[in-house]
């Protein structure tokens, strides 16, 4: 705990708190310094265990608005509902010294929080994860009036914030160049729960997961991946490849690219191509409205050499899943081209090599051929999968490449969220 005056900090997330890891990490870092933290947001998903047990972090849950069929009316009604709900929770929570709000979403959170900061005379801080206007433009257009209003609200609030954080240097430069807003780059970094694990821990986790998903077990009910003999755990020499991906199952992450690549992988084996490829088990985590659509589409394929699972994982099991995998796939495409996928940060924390969809600022995280791979098309992702899993798990080149990537990732793992936050963010809360 920090010596000196502690503060009351209010964190506003106009979204599901449990699915906002960066804001949860802010909460933990603030609590570790002795500050009292009130978090306002939706409670759809359980937050991290460390946050739930913290005596310094308090939750105030927003109530989801009822849905109205007509789109425009629903948007207006939802905005008014959220504004009133947010105002109510801000008023009943303890008076903050500092108010930090996540953007996006921008409306009505930015306006309400800015006004409240004036009335309560507290510091107003924005944490820019992306631009709300760029996300809105995906479903509407850049010239749409709602997109234009959202952009103006972001510009207005950003100029009036006491401080701005953002997730990349590219966003920092864009905020200053195009909006005249100064910001501090606070990169996403993995907390210590995302780390490499021992073979014994992999064996224990995959065996446990196999009790729920029988596809992970062999005919004798042991793990497909590992075996234990005389209290010694070893990889099986004929084990399948384990691919993992986390997706939001929404339009801004094109799952069809991975679906098509898996189909090509299956066809490659069925058609007797010269490459020797293992059974491939692909575990895909995440929630979203397109999940059922794609899962039904996968079932219809009746693949024999590719197994797709969509496991529900407890928060403590997700890092174990990443650390147990052979390769990760990230389908994140940035609406602004200025944010970075946190799922890759988590994978890197677990020393998991990644194939990531390429966009203009991805170089700030993924260096192609150095700590991972980039792809832009189904064909490129297919080729990466075929090359990585050729003669797996006994291919010398694949083993050497995996070790080279993991060696590079050790440098990335040296700076974790806590140390990064202390270096680049803590001064704002003094």
pLDDT in tens, 241-298: 999 998 877 766 788 899 999 999 999 999 887 678 999 999 998 877 788 888 888 8
Same domain membership, residue 60 and residue 78? yes
- Per residue in 144-158, is it b (16+ CB within 10 Å) or e — as a string? eebbbebbebbbebb
Given a cut of 90, whether residue 207 has pLDDT beyond it is yes
CA-based torsion, 79, 83, 85, 90: positive or negative: positive
Residue 253: per-residue pLDDT: 76
E strand or H helix at 367, and its extent?
Answer: none
The span from the CA of 271 to the CA of 311, in Å, is 30
The span from the CA of 80 to the CA of 78, in Å, is 6
The residue behind tokens 């978090």 is 39
Same domain membership, residue 185 and residue 87? yes
C-beta atoms surrounding 357 within 10 Å: 23
Same domain membership, residue 244 and residue 334? yes
Rg of the Cα atoms in the chain = 23
Residue 315: per-residue pLDDT: 78
The span from the CA of 204 to the CA of 220, in Å, is 16
Closest of 100, 131, 102 to residue 117, by C-alpha: 100
Percent of the chain with pLDDT over 90: 77
The span from the CA of 371 to the CA of 357, in Å, is 14
Mean pLDDT (the chain, rounded):
93
Percent of the chain with pLDDT over 70: 98
- Mean pLDDT across 214-234: 88
In a domain, 2, yes or no: no
E strand or H helix at 252, and its extent?
Answer: none
Our CA dihedral for 45, 92, 163, 174, rounded to 10 degrees, sits at 50
Q: Are 240 and 279 in contact (CB under 8 A)?
A: yes
Residue 289: per-residue pLDDT: 78
Determine the structural domain holding residue 142 and report its residue range: 8-189+417-429
In a domain, 82, yes or no: yes
- Mean pLDDT across 332-350: 93
Residue 403: per-residue pLDDT: 94
Same domain membership, residue 210 and residue 171? no
Same domain membership, residue 226 and residue 136? no
- The larger pLDDT score, comparing residue 227 to residue 87, is at 87
Same domain membership, residue 385 and residue 254? yes
Closest of 105, 82, 86, 135 to residue 23, by C-alpha: 105
Residue 2: per-residue pLDDT: 45
Can you tell me whether residue 324 is helix, strand or coil? helix
Q: What is the CATH number of the domain that holds 286?
A: 3.40.50.2000
In a domain, 392, yes or no: yes
Contacts for 81 with CB less than 8 Å, ≥ 6 apart: 65
In a domain, 102, yes or no: yes
The span from the CA of 40 to the CA of 94, in Å, is 12
In a domain, 307, yes or no: yes
Residue 251: per-residue pLDDT: 65
For 78-131, write each residue's pLDDT tens digit: 999 999 999 999 999 999 999 999 999 999 999 999 999 999 999 999 999 999
Contacts for 410 with CB less than 8 Å, ≥ 6 apart: 351
For 133-165, write each residue's pLDDT tens digit: 998 888 887 788 989 999 999 999 999 999 999
Phi then psi dihedrals of residue 393, to 5 deg: -100, 25
Residue 274: per-residue pLDDT: 65
- Per residue in 299-331, is it b (16+ CB within 10 Å) or e — as a string? eeeebebbbbbbeeeebebbbbbbbbbbbbbbb
Bridge partners (DSSP) of residue 319 are none
Q: Residue 221 — pLDDT band, cuts 50, 70, 90?
A: confident
* Least confident residue range of 14-18, 44-48, 409-413: 44-48
Same domain membership, residue 332 and residue 244? yes
E-only strand ranges, 193-298 = 226-229, 232-235, 241-246, 280-285
Number of helices (H), then strands (E), belonging to the chain: the values are: 15, 15
287 by Cβ neighbours in 10 Å (0-12 / 13-18 / 19+) ranks as middle
In a domain, 144, yes or no: yes
Same domain membership, residue 53 and residue 106? yes
For 352-406, write each residue's pLDDT tens digit: 999 999 998 999 999 999 999 999 999 999 999 999 999 999 999 999 999 999 9
Can you tell me whether residue 310 is helix, strand or coil? coil
- Mean pLDDT across 28-33: 96
Q: Residue 3 — pLDDT band, cuts 50, 70, 90?
A: very low
Query: What does the DSSP 8-state code read for residue 7?
Result: -
In a domain, 1, yes or no: no
Same domain membership, residue 208 and residue 178? no
Same domain membership, residue 260 and residue 123? no
Same domain membership, residue 407 and residue 321? yes
Same domain membership, residue 422 and residue 379? no
The span from the CA of 64 to the CA of 42, in Å, is 7
In a domain, 291, yes or no: yes
The span from the CA of 138 to the CA of 316, in Å, is 33
Query: How many domains are there within the chain?
Result: 2
């Amino acid at each position: 705990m920090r010596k000196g005056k502690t503060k009351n900090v209010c964190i506003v997330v106009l979204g599901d708190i449990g699915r906002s890891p960066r804001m949860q990490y802010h909460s933990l870092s603030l609590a570790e310094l002795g500050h009292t933290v009130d978090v306002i947001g939706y409670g759809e998903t359980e937050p991290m265990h460390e946050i739930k047990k913290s005596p310094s972090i308090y939750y105030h849950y927003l109530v989801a608005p009822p849905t109205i069929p007509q789109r425009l009316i629903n948007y207006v009604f939802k905005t008014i509902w959220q504004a009133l709900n947010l105002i109510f929770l801000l008023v009943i929570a303890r008076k903050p010294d500092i108010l930090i709000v996540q953007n996006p979403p921008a409306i009505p959170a930015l306006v309400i929080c800015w006004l409240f900061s004036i009335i309560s005379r507290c510091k107003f801080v924005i944490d820019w994860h992306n631009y709300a206007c760029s996300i809105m433009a995906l479903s509407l257009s850049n010239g749409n009036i709602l997109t234009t209003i959202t952009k103006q609200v972001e510009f207005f609030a950003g100029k009036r914030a006491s401080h701005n954080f953002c997730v990349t240097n590219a966003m920092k430069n864009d905020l200053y160049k195009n909006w005249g807003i100064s910001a501090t780059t606070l990169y996403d970094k993995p907390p210590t729960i995302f780390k490499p694990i021992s073979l014994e821990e992999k064996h224990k986790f995959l065996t446990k997961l196999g009790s729920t998903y029988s596809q992970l077990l062999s005919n004798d009910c042991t793990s497909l991946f590992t075996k234990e003999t005389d209290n010694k755990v070893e990889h099986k020499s004929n084990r399948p490849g384990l691919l993992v991906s986390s997706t939001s199952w929404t339009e801004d992450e094109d799952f069809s690219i991975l679906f098509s690549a898996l189909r090509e992988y299956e066809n490659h084996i069925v058609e007797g191509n010269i490459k020797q490829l293992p059974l491939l088990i692909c575990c895909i985590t995440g929630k979203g409205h397109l999940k059922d659509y794609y899962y039904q589409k996968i079932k219809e394929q009746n693949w024999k050499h590719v197994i797709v699972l969509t496991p529900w994982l407890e928060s403590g099991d997700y890092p174990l899943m990443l650390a147990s995998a052979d390769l990760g796939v990230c389908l994140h495409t940035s609406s602004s081209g200025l944010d970075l996928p946190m799922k890759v940060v988590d994978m890197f924390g677990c020393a998991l090599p990644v194939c990531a969809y390429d966009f203009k600022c991805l170089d700030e995280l993924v260096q192609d051929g150095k700590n991972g791979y980039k792809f832009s098309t189904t064909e490129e992702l297919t080729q990466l999968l075929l090359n990585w899993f050729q003669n797996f798990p006994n291919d010398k080149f694949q083993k050497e490449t995996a070790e080279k990537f993991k060696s590079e990732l050790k440098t990335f793992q040296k700076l974790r969220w806590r140390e990064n936050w202390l270096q680049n963010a803590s001064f704002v809360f003094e």
